[in-house]
Amino acid sequence: MAIAVMCSGGDCAGMNPGVKKFVDYCFDKGEQPYLIFDGLEGLIDGNIKKATHEDVAGIMHEGGTMIRSSRSKRFYEREFRAKAYENLSALGIDRIVVMGGDGSFRALDRFSKEFDTSFVGIPSTIDNDIFGTEYCLGVDTALNVIRRATDEVRDTSASFKRGCVIETMGRDCGYLALVSAITCGAEVCIIPEAEHDLQTLGERLRHEIKNGRRYVVCIAAEGSKLTPELVEWLEKEVGIETRATILGHIQRGGNPTVFDRLMATEFMTFAVDRLIGEEKTNAVVVYRQSNFAFESIDYITSSKYEIKPQLIAMGQKMFR
């Protein structure tokens, strides 16, 4: 039987290095690799191709995913899952590596329990919000995109004695905003996980501006939904002209960092070895305390990811 790789949900830098390692490593192990294009939708539509080394040559440095991704409402319906299984069976594929988030893992878990298919998930989301793992593929590249943007916005803010509100991705999780704020030396950080006190922050900033501060950097997670309010607060309460910069999907792209390339390689090696070595498996590769391990889907989906208390503690001065 053969083995396939797919991406599902939001894309991130590191997926292409993962795809390349998948193809190269499968050949090294004497397995026939297949590429599933367009995620779950491609699985249903049979958009599956036998892979060659040529398919993945020269993609290590590219962001996004060359096999593309999708979200699929159709996959919730059994008739379409059955169609996906027919497509896999026709090619002799009974094992899948999926790079995605917990929603993708739940979908494949249900699929593998209904049909004779094994899968291993690789946590891949720039939000870094999957329970059970300390690191998700794509996070380091996203943080470096934010770091570059913040440093550059700070330059022009200092030139005009302005404030800047930089909105990062993170609909339900403030990890990107918090780590970026800590490592970029922001004065204010607003995330869903921590209460903030604009009155106290305002008093401190007014004092600092009076004593020579030339700019204010405020980093906010999109999940806070406070970007316009923060601009107004800085202008009216703190007394500094302010501009907002919403980074948006720029955070998903970009040249993968060395760390994300390495993590993609290691995640994928563990995933393929598991699928080759186990007769039947459905698990997720996780990274904790500098080690890789496997967890069940039930465990991964049993709790909500929480930012480490140590990081929250480091940001206290930026919250209040």
Q: What is the DSSP letter of 75?
A: G
Residues facing residue 49 across a β-bridge? 35
Nearest partner of 174 among 143, 200, 198, judged by Cα: 143
Tokens of 246: 């919403």
- Contacts for 280 with CB less than 8 Å, ≥ 6 apart: 118
Residue with tokens 């919730």: 76
Q: What are the start-end ranges of the H helices in the chain?
A: 15-28, 39-45, 53-56, 78-90, 102-114, 139-160, 175-184, 198-210, 227-233, 258-277, 297-300, 309-314, 316-319
Cite the active site residues: 127
Q: What are phi and psi of 161, to 5 degrees?
A: 55, 55
Nearest partner of 275 among 114, 121, 105, judged by Cα: 121
Cβ neighbourhood burial of 176 (10 Å; 0-12, 13-18, 19+): buried
Nearest partner of 225 among 252, 185, 203, 196, judged by Cα: 196
